[in-house]
Amino acid sequence: MSSKPKLYYFDGRGKMESIRWLLAAAGVEFEEEFLETRDQYEKLLQGGSLLFQQVPMVEIDGMRMVQTRAILSYIAAKYNLYGKDLKERALIDMYVGGTDDLMGFILIFPFLSAEDKEKQHAFIVQKATSRYFPVYEKVLKDHGQDFLVGNTFSWADVHLLEAILMVEEKKSDVLSGFPQLQAFKARISSIPAIKKFLEPGSQRKPVPDDKYVETVRRVLCMYYDVKAN
């Protein structure tokens, strides 16, 4: 295995994007192998690399890890982005879990029909502004600190910034009623490792396009339509 983590996924966001974000936030260089054909995927399956027959898969520290949450938890703990004690870790898990729920609404968006996309767009913005962003706005206001947990940069901050930027791609002024989150976005975006990841030419992936959707459907044999929430 390479000394650098190696990521196996499609050349697009999907569930791997949060892993890219967290590695980048930790300042860790990584390699990627993009799945473009069904044969590549079958080879991983036949080789026993995909424990539950699915990607993302990451080679790291002599392990072949699957299950996105397990991979993220490992990276966060390894690079001191997971709090200083159990209570802080519990808070990070809570905030990451909530952000995951919001991001899940966005991850399915590229795979929807044109009609469902219109509905899902409104649904995403409504959920972000009425259910999720108010929580983080209150947390930051109540404790008056720069970061979500323990006044220390953590996985929770990385995940929230990723989610904010994803929702802003749907509605650019979505943070207009959230001054704490506006300041949070500016702070986290200015952290050197994050700033580098946000620059052109990084391994951050663009908004999923038709080519990405077609590749995923072909490799995974997805012959069904994803349904909106």
pLDDT for 224: 64
- Contact residues for 72 (Cβ-Cβ < 8 A; gap 6+): 18, 19, 22, 96, 155
Has residue 1 got a pLDDT over 80?
Answer: no
How many Å from the N-terminal Cα to the C-terminal Cα in the chain?
Answer: 40
116 and 181, same structural domain?
yes
> Domain range spanning residue 38?
6-79+199-220
In a domain, 120, yes or no: yes
C-alpha gyration radius of the chain: 18
CA 20 to chain centre: 8
In a domain, 106, yes or no: yes
144 and 112, same structural domain?
yes
CA atoms of 95 and 171, how far apart (whole Å): 22
Out of 76-85, 138-147, 215-224, pick the least confident. Answer: 215-224
212 and 165, same structural domain?
no
99 and 140, same structural domain?
yes
CA atoms of 227 and 229, how far apart (whole Å): 7
99 and 59, same structural domain?
no
Residue whose C-alpha is closest to residue 197's, from 28, 24, 29, 26: 24
Residue whose C-alpha is closest to residue 79's, from 32, 14, 29: 29
pLDDT for 116: 94
In a domain, 32, yes or no: yes
Q: pLDDT class for 153, splitting at 50, 70, 90?
A: very high
Question: Which letter, b or e, does each residue of 94-130 get, where b requires 16 or more Cβ atoms within 10 Å of its Cβ?
Answer: ebbebbbebbebbbebbbbeeebeeebbeebeebbbe
The angle, 0 to 180 degrees and rounded to 10, between the axes of the packed helices 210-220 and 38-46 is 40
Answer for the pair 198, 15: CB distance below 8 angstroms, yes or no: no
Model confidence pLDDT, tens digit, residues 41-91: 999 999 999 999 999 999 999 999 999 999 999 999 999 999 999 999 999
Residue whose C-alpha is closest to residue 126's, from 229, 208, 207, 206: 229
130 and 75, same structural domain?
no
67 and 42, same structural domain?
yes
In a domain, 225, yes or no: no
152 and 101, same structural domain?
yes
Total structural domains within the chain: 2
Q: pLDDT class for 2, splitting at 50, 70, 90?
A: low
Out of 44-53, 178-187, 205-214, 218-227, pick the least confident. Answer: 218-227
In a domain, 57, yes or no: yes
- Please give the backbone phi and psi of residue 4, each rounded to the nearest 5 degrees, phi first: -90, 145
Answer for the pair 89, 39: CB distance below 8 angstroms, yes or no: no
111 and 66, same structural domain?
no
CA atoms of 79 and 81, how far apart (whole Å): 6
In a domain, 1, yes or no: no
142 and 102, same structural domain?
yes
70 and 145, same structural domain?
no
CATH number of 12's domain: 3.40.30.10
CATH number of 147's domain: 1.20.1050.10
In a domain, 227, yes or no: no
In a domain, 108, yes or no: yes
pLDDT for 226: 74
95 and 162, same structural domain?
yes
